Amino acid sequence: MTVPVLLGARVTLRPMTLDDLPLLMKWGSDPAFRRYQWGQKPGKFEGSSARAWIERMSRPGDSACWIIEHERRPIGFANYRDFHPKGRSAEIGIGIGEPDLWGKHLGRDALEALLRYLFDELGLHRVGLSVVGFNDRAISMYKAVGFEVEGIERDGVGTEDGYIDDVKMGIVKGRPRPDFDPRPVTLEGDFVRLTPLRMEHAQALFEAADEDDIWRWMVPRPKGLEGYERYIRWALDQQILGAQLPFAVIRKSDGVLVGTTRYAHIDPPNRSLEIGYTLYGKGARRTPVNTECKLLLLTHAFKRLRLIRVEFKTDALNEKSRNALTRIGAVQEGIFRKHLICESGRIRDTAYFSILDTEWPEKKQALEGKLSAV
């Protein structure tokens, strides 16, 4: 079978040959690429390994590989492999080997071109892939194209330092995407910008949030920078599963990260979620930050995600938080008694609040009024 040239909107995929060995060796030796593509430490991708890789990905009837070009510049590769005629399925891989082009949506363009070929020309029914568990940008990109997380193979990839999780994803031709499918997004107002929380935010979050006043009501408290890295990693693991969607809160006046918040307990069948895990450093409290954050999150939830309910909860003893929720228009529904066991051993009662879709137009107007008065 002849491997064809594939065209995307901004990229071209041309068949890879052994003449491309130097490119593959270069990309495979880049430390960032090695980490996010294969979960490997810095090292060299030697010629023999690169040759074996191309030969493995160039078996007629089973696999094929391409070089991705942007403006005639080779920037990465794409492939399919493990073709199963009976199940009409295959696995794919894709990598942008030039880190300066990450985040430019070129990988997504190449992926969409590859999928068109696999589904429309080869007649596949299912396409699967695997991605290391900490490659959050890639996972978000695959979800945006239509892949769904099918499971996480714990410690599925062996590395020089131990084992890492392997996320299994798949896309089935003709299968409709979920109507309710929250994905990472940037939300921007006049005072703050909410961006997807990333591991690289750990140092800034540590500097903003490592205060006794914050963690008096939130548990467990992260310990040192490593603790904040684990805090973010857990949130991102929940994002992979579709249970949470965490944001970094960036103050627009100076570009400083001043806190974090997230969608949590995402409940697709019932079109509801919680806004929680919210914390701000001292420089952001008693400013328009919280009001605008809630306005942005609630507007996205009700307008774009078409929710019918957004809930909030807080320690029943946290009067400041309860008052803040009342100020944004949330309605207290009741107290869950003996709801959580705190790190100190105290058994916490939790106050539940909510805003409904039918209430949102009035609440939105009130929030906008508060911000306009600043």
Per residue in 116-149, pLDDT (tens digit) is 999 999 999 999 999 999 999 999 999 989 999 9
Question: Residue 49: what pLDDT?
Answer: 94
3-state secondary structure of 17: coil
Close Cβ partners of 350 (under 8 Å, ≥ 6 residues apart)? 313, 314, 315, 316, 335, 336, 339, 340
Q: How far is CA 110 from CA 63, 104, 105, in A?
A: 17, 12, 9
User: Edge-to-edge strand order for the sheet containing 6-7?
Assistant: 6-7, 12-15, 64-70, 73-84, 89-96, 126-132, 162-172, 148-159
- 211 alpha-carbon distance from chain centroid: 27
Close Cβ partners of 24 (under 8 Å, ≥ 6 residues apart)? 16, 45, 50, 53, 54, 77
Question: Residue 1: what pLDDT?
Answer: 67
DSSP 119: I
How far apart, in whole angstroms, are the C-alpha atoms of residue 196 and residue 250? 11
Close Cβ partners of 336 (under 8 Å, ≥ 6 residues apart)? 313, 349, 350, 351, 352
How far apart, in whole angstroms, are the C-alpha atoms of residue 82 and residue 86? 12
Q: Are strands 126-132 and 272-280 parallel, antiparallel or unpaired?
A: unpaired
Give yes or no for a contact between 67 and 77, defined as CB atoms under 8 angstroms apart.
yes
How far apart, in whole angstroms, are the C-alpha atoms of residue 186 and residue 194? 6
Q: Are strands 272-280 and 309-315 parallel, antiparallel or unpaired?
A: parallel
Close Cβ partners of 374 (under 8 Å, ≥ 6 residues apart)? 191, 288
Question: Residue 119: what pLDDT?
Answer: 97
How far apart, in whole angstroms, are the C-alpha atoms of residue 26 and residue 215? 46
Give yes or no for a contact between 271 and 309, defined as CB atoms under 8 angstroms apart.
yes
- pLDDT digit string (tens) for the chain, length 374 residues: 689 999 999 999 999 999 999 999 999 999 999 999 999 899 999 999 999 999 999 999 899 999 999 999 999 999 999 999 999 999 999 999 999 999 899 999 999 999 999 999 999 999 999 999 999 999 999 998 999 999 999 998 888 878 999 999 999 999 888 778 888 999 999 999 999 999 999 999 999 999 888 888 887 889 999 999 999 999 999 999 999 999 999 999 999 999 999 999 999 999 999 999 999 998 888 889 999 999 999 999 999 999 999 999 999 999 989 999 999 999 999 999 999 888 788 899 999 999 999 999 999 999 999 898 77
Q: Report helix, strand and coil shares of the chain as percent, to nearest 5.
A: 35, 35, 30
Question: Residue 343: what pLDDT?
Answer: 77
Taking alpha carbons only, the member of 303, 298, 241 closest to residue 273 is: 298
Using only the alpha carbons of the chain, give its radius of gyration.
Answer: 23
Read off the amino acid at residue 117. Answer: Y
Give yes or no for a contact between 39 and 65, defined as CB atoms under 8 angstroms apart.
no
Counting Cα atoms < 13 Å in the Cβ hemisphere of 13 gives 28
Q: How far is CA 106 from CA 138, 148, 280, in A?
A: 12, 20, 35
